[in-house]
Amino acid sequence: MDAFVFSTEETVLNEAVKNEKWQLLIVDDEEEVHAVTKLALRDVIYQGKEIEFISAYSGVQAKEILAENNNIALVLLDVVMETDDAGLTVARYIREELKNSMVRIVLRTGQPGQAPEREVIINYDINDYKSKTELTAQRLFTTVIASFRSYQDLIAIEHNRAGLESVIESSSNLFSIRSMDTFIDGLLRQITSVFCRGNNPVNLNSLVAEAHGVDKFERSLKVVVAQGDYIGSEGRSVWEVLPPELRKHCSNETQDQKIVYGEGYIFYYRKNTGNRSALVFISGLPVDMCDQDRNLIELFSTNVQIAYDNILLNQELEDTQREIVYRLGHALETRSRETGNHLKRVAELSELLAILYGLPSEQVKLIKFSSPLHDVGKISIRDDVLNYPGKLDQAQWEIMMTHAQQGYDLLYDSPREILQVGARIALTHHERWDGKGYPNGLAGEAIDLFGRIVSLVDVFDALHSRRCYKPAYDLDYCLTHIKENRGKAFEPKLVDLFLDNKERFLKIMKRFPD
């Protein structure tokens, strides 16, 4: 899940939006100024919020307060305090060290217009500059309100920017995800991150339901993922879990898809152009969702839709590839009268042996899906040889051995990875670790690892199966054969892994009997 790392760095800023009061820091070494300022602004309420006054009597004290409080909207800042430029250092400190570009700063001084002050005003985004005599009650009021307003605008812009960044980042993450489970998990986490700000954690309840292959899709929606209050509802019809009146939001028109925002919930239903539909329901959201949040969710969901379609398409492709591989194999098995589940077992046994060998999951998947192709070359073997009911003579055997190369020739120039790997497996599955195999007499690690793995499980399963030329041997015999061929036919490490975990292999044999 590390693809979904979502941002929490903006929480500090967002807290400020939700604060009950405008925080105003008065920095001045004269007690008198504090008193006068508070008196002048005593009854001010702007956008329903009162002012909370915070006092600092020196530059040093102001820095301490600012370092600990990110929610201050405005600083009324005296210039001359413990030093001639104490206020200017505070301004510099706010912008450069705290990197706080939100808080508004109004400088107040007895002697305006000196050179260092101009430089500070230009470089440190000082909003206003007043000589102390200028700051009458009315002017102070105007200045303070204007500062709060621009502070609020800055916060809103920042909030939107942070949200946008998180949406863009998470969308690009979504595109790299290939499985539905991680996709949905990531989606919910992402939505949670859009809403969970500051100290107000949101406990979301969410579910995802899917349906496919029926006329009235919304009727057969089944819960596939559930969180929060809906935990445990997986597999149930969604209308046993959600209020039935939500059903009116479901439209079976593919083009008619939108997010429905209710009191504290989001409802989203989508009928795909294929035979699928999906429903996402999330509740437990803040009731006071703002337009910006909605914009972000809309933007996010557009990207989610594209990513979701990609995943479906990808799944469809994979399913198709797999099915073709099995059908090809089965056609062959029918011709050679090999019965039952040989190919399924080879797929499963190869998968397990590859896992035990320590291969990464992508490789494991590849060998699982490709290994059923190992004998595809037998398709070109004459029937009187392929189905000969006894021991092959030399001429027949020469023909039979060509199936490895023939399988390779059939598949190698495919652009599909599964078929390419299938080609490698077909070519090498009769090579031996000791170099006495065919078609190329390769030895040891010169043999493709996939071929080495399939070789072992193929022989094991062939021994245990009935063939036109031989009966099925019992498991003890087959295990003994594998053991005796350690370092001869098979790579020693593979034999060890196989025998050390034989219970797990035998379980697969039982799961797919002939």
Token pair in block for residue 183: 């996709």
Of the candidate residues 73, 209, 463, 497, the single one contacting ligand C2E (CB under 6 A): 463
CB nearer to ligand C2E: give 53 or 473.
473
Q: Which residue has the tokens 């499963």?
A: 348
Task: State which of residues 86, 453, 459, 479 lies at the interface with ligand SIN (CB under 6 A).
Answer: 459
* One residue of 39, 168, 231, 468 binding ligand C2E per CB under 6 A: 468
Alpha-carbon distance of 3 to 16, in angstroms, equals 29
In angstroms, rounded to a whole number, what is the distance separating the alpha carbons of residues 259 and 249?
A: 9
Given ligand C2E, ligand SIN, Fe ion, none, residue 326, with its beta carbon under 5 to 8 Å by kind, binds ligand SIN
Nearer to ligand C2E by C-beta: 175 or 469? 469
Q: If we measure between CA atoms, which residue out of 370, 435, 442, 440 comes closest to residue 404?
A: 440
| Choices 65-73, 157-165, 323-331, 458-466; region in contact with ligand C2E by CB under 6 A | 458-466
Residue 296 or 425: the one with the smaller Cβ distance to Fe ion is: 425
191 vs 508 by CB, closer to Fe ion = 508
Please identify which residue in 462, 478, 497, 508 interacts with ligand C2E, judged by CB under 6 A: 462
Angle between helices 417-428 and 403-411 (to 10 degrees): 170
Amino acid identity of residue 244, one-letter, is P
436 tagged catalytic: no
Candidate residues 345, 430, 432, 464; the one interacting with ligand C2E per rule CB under 6 A:
430
> What is the CA 86 to chain-centroid distance, rounded?
49
The two structure tokens encoding residue 242:
């959600």
Q: Which of 6, 326, 388, 512 binds ligand C2E (CB under 6 A)?
A: 388
DSSP string, 229-283: GGTT-TTSBGGGTS-GGGGGG----TT---EEEETTEEEEEEE-SSSEEEEEEEE
The whole-angstrom separation of Cα 412 and Cα 209 is 41
- Residue 432 binding result from Fe ion, ligand SIN, ligand C2E, none, given CB thresholds of 5 to 8 Å by partner type: ligand SIN
* Residue 470 site contact among ligand C2E, ligand SIN, Fe ion, none (CB < 5 to 8 Å, cut-off depends on kind): ligand C2E
Q: Is 306 one of the binding residues for ligand C2E (CB under 6 A)?
A: no
Question: In the complex, what is the shortest distance from the CB of residue 348 to ligand SIN, in angstroms, rounded to a whole number?
Answer: 7
Residues of span 368-407 touching ligand SIN by CB under 6 A: 368
458 near Fe ion, judged by CB under 5 A: yes
Q: Which of 205, 339, 219, 215 is nearest to 280 (CA)?
A: 205
Residue 491 as a binder of ligand C2E (CB under 6 A): the answer is no
Q: Which residues partner with 78 through β-bridges?
A: 108
**267 contacts: CB under 8 Å, gap ≥ 6:** 246, 249, 259, 260, 279, 280, 281
CB 375, min distance to Fe ion, A: 4
* Complex with ligand SIN: residue 159 or 432, whichever CB lies closer: 432
* Segment lying near Fe ion (by CB under 5 A), choices 84-92, 208-216, 458-466, 498-506: 458-466
Cis peptide bond N-terminal to 439, omega within 30:
yes
Shortest gap between Cβ of 246 and ligand SIN (angstroms)? 35
**Among 91, 101, 107, which residue's Cα sits nearest to residue 28?**
107
Nearer to ligand SIN, 34 or 345 (CB): 345
Bridge-based pairing state of the strands 276-283 and 205-212: antiparallel
Rounded Cα distance, 331 and 406, in Å = 16
DSSP secondary structure string, 115-168?
Answer: HHHHHHHHHTT--EEEEGGG--HHHHHHHHHHHHHHHHHHHHHHHHHHHHHHHH
Which of the following is catalytic: 63, 271, 368, 378? 378
Q: Which does 368 bind (CB under 5 to 8 A by kind): ligand C2E, Fe ion, ligand SIN, none?
A: ligand SIN
**How far apart, in Å, are the Cα atoms of 121 and each of 65, 73, 103, 106, 240?**
22, 18, 14, 10, 64
Q: Which is nearer to ligand C2E, 191 or 463 (CB)?
A: 463
Over the range 22-31, which residues count as b (16 or more CB within 10 Å of their CB) and which as e?
A: bbbbbbbbee
State the residue number with the nearest CB to ligand SIN: 489
Q: Which does 455 bind (CB under 5 to 8 A by kind): ligand SIN, Fe ion, ligand C2E, none?
A: ligand SIN
Count residues binding Fe ion (CB under 5 A).
2
Contact call for residue 392 and ligand C2E (CB under 6 A): yes
C-alpha angle 446-452-457 in degrees, rounded to nearest 5: 170
Distance of alpha carbon 441 from alpha carbon 451, whole angstroms:
13
Q: Rule CB under 6 A: is residue 400 a binding residue for ligand C2E?
A: yes
Q: Report the partner that residue 400 touches, choosing among ligand C2E, ligand SIN, Fe ion, none (CB closer than 5 to 8 A by kind).
A: ligand C2E
Q: Which stretch binds ligand SIN (CB under 6 A): 321-329, 354-362, 403-411, 493-501?
A: 321-329
Residue closer to ligand C2E, measured from CB, 308 or 505 = 505
Among 455, 495, 505, 508, binds ligand SIN (CB under 6 A): 455
Chain residues in the site for ligand C2E (CB under 6 A): 388, 391-392, 400, 430, 458-459, 462-463, 467-470
Give the residue numbers marked as catalytic.
378
Chain residues in the site for ligand SIN (CB under 6 A): 322-323, 326, 347, 368, 430-432, 437, 455, 459, 489
Chain residues in the site for Fe ion (CB under 5 A): 375, 458
